Structure 1
């Protein structure tokens, strides 16, 4: 009625003219407020105090948000929005925001929160333990395929999860392995050419995807990497009889040592002047078993 319309207008005009009143604005008026008439400080306060932006379709809100963040990026090269701010948006809203502000696509927490919202069922703690390894593999592959435009470190972290899952299922996918080797999170055991690349591991991903294979925290450990590489390389050696396809990635000594070990376990003669007797003695016990 006219009375309620008058009261709404009165409330909105008060917000435009007085600081602090926006915090008491009822959510039914979010889509009627002209956010462009609000100061930057008032708007930032609203962002922090508002519980959810899910119901906001007001174009002036998105204009103000884009303009405010864009200005922050221009004046402060280290600026990143508060990570908890992303929880207040829906997945669809975050997708729109990411399409408007390109810098957000390199914001680890923005990427992580979008990932959580898109795969909330698969990541839910109550559901995680109910999935079989086969189901988890399907989910990991879907997650990887949905991450084409995400930072390389994120894609490599997902690839690592797929590789670890493959060991548990005795599935050794050469394509995923090679894709990971092109951009490994860490360059342990890699040759000098690969080591020239900047290591891309981002510890933030531990928060979002670090326990998809039922392990806690990060896995950054040279010994774990060696174990994973050895598992895959042994399978590919058994298939091809050599490791030539991987020379462009691995340190030559590392690859040669594994090749000799695989040759020995296959019952072939090791042609080497100096042999590590202790190493092959321990391998002999494996062969005898």
Structure 2
């Protein structure tokens, strides 16, 4: 385990539970100092459980150093305060994982978008805008850490290229991918890399509640479902690689299962993850043209 002053410093947004928590725990196991952000501070206030404090304590229990920071990622001032705290306490930022995402009621229903509540639009605020805003505030700290080859990971998904949960959800994921590409253009030559990452079907608290309600319906999906920590393991492996390997991928959307396999990472139960590319599609290619 690296000494405290050698440990890489990470921020994982939206990590009270779900994928963010899994990523934070995997980074803790790899020895990171992990700042965990989220809105849930008090136990029992969210129907799926979890708080930023609980995640931070588990990060520490895994061998890392967990730091809980309450943050509503709709609040630009709160986001700026997170980055300022990291700068004051650590003096650097090596890894930023933009995972925060709003999940409005009814987003997964089979109804038309006009039949769903209009608050589905909140995904544009916490999902798309929050990714931009957090990276904007963190950029100076990341650039100052350039000799340590910092990495930004924007969590995206297959909804960028297939119909998944409706047009608002798809637009957010497609936007995150394009934003990642364009961020990489601006960051080229700075030493900071940025990628978008697509997890597979995840064993989060929210998903497993649905599965447990109708296990027979999801019987065939269970064997290929990914534990949230798999994504964190893949991120840690990518971040631990040579700077050139990160730069080579910068600007690209990567399928998590494929990245994990390429880097020799397995799921927590030892399974080799299965890419869903053949079923749902793969990342788009963008033009190399740059117009300033």
| Class of the TM-score when normalised by the shorter of the 2 chains | under 0.3
Larger-gyration structure (1/2): 1
Q: Which has the higher helix share?
A: 1
TM-score, length of structure 1 as denominator length: 0.26
Q: Which has the higher strand share?
A: 2
